[in-house]
Amino acid sequence: MPRIRSPRSAFNDRPFAGSGASLYATIGDTVIYRGLRVLSSQRRGKWIKGTGGRHDIAATSVLKTIRVASAASPAESIPYTLPASFASQTVTFDVRQYADDVENTTDNFRTVVKEIDGSLEDGTGILGTAVLLSVEARSGGICRIRFNYYDNAEGVQPTVFRASRTAGPSSPTATSASYTANQRLVEIDTEALLDSSPYTFKITAENTGGTVTEDMIVGITVQADATGPAAPVSGTAEAR
């Protein structure tokens, strides 16, 4: 049974001192930023109890926020290890900035929803979209595939795009290009191809390590020019 240590106890938690950002994570599709606090006290010899739990008001467990992690400025990331309770759950994440004991109180604005699998990996998949721009025949049977990729804040973010042959007169090795956030334009050169008939290629997005993949564009027709222009058979020169 908790006991009140002093009638003059004060709430002295300062999670927003200085400046930085707080990370929140809640099972479900809505982020909860503050926990319900019911304080312990005695009235006429009886403890007052609430459904939200009971806290000793002098204990360190009485916090202003239920954020799961934080980082002080100018950090660009917040390290956080997913707890076992997140396995096979839909989890919603949000980040709030703070400074000088005040936190930005945006409420469930542009949150990120993740489908966490039983191994605590992101099972949401890659949710961005890609649009084919052109296929250019280059010298030596090489073709350049150009496309735009449009990020999605939710899901897994790709770090590599791979162009692989799905049909054609030979079996060239798949080629790839790295990708960084907000890059948009991606260009991938194929291996040398035959020009006897067209190939069909697809573009696949992958995250680091290739644990998550997603076909972004399929059925791309690629016609190589491996031969080049015919050699001249005759010619004359005129002195000037």
From start to end of 56-210, where are the E strands? 69-72, 89-99, 102-103, 112-116, 129-137, 143-150, 160-167, 175-178, 185-189, 199-206
Domain residue limits, the chain: 19-116, 129-222
Quote the tokens at residue 206.
């992958």
CATH 2.60.40.10 fits 129-222, yes or no: yes
Mean pLDDT score, 56-81: 82
Strand order in the sheet with 185-189: 129-137, 143-150, 185-189
Q: What is the pLDDT of residues 3-53, one digit of tens each?
A: 545 555 556 788 999 999 999 999 999 999 987 665 555 555 454 444 445
Q: What is the pLDDT of residues 73-111, one digit of tens each?
A: 998 899 999 999 999 999 999 999 999 999 999 999 989
Beta pairing partners, 232? none
Phi, psi of 208 (to 5 degrees): -60, 125
Q: What is the pLDDT of residues 194-237, one digit of tens each?
A: 999 999 999 999 998 888 899 999 999 999 998 877 777 777 77
Q: How far apart are CA 161 and CA 166, in angstroms?
A: 16
pTM of the model: 0.61
Give the pLDDT score at 160: 97
Report whether the peptide linkage leading into residue 83 is cis, meaning its omega lies within 30 degrees of zero.
Answer: no
Q: What SS3 state is found at 132?
A: strand
Phi, psi of 84 (to 5 degrees): -60, -25
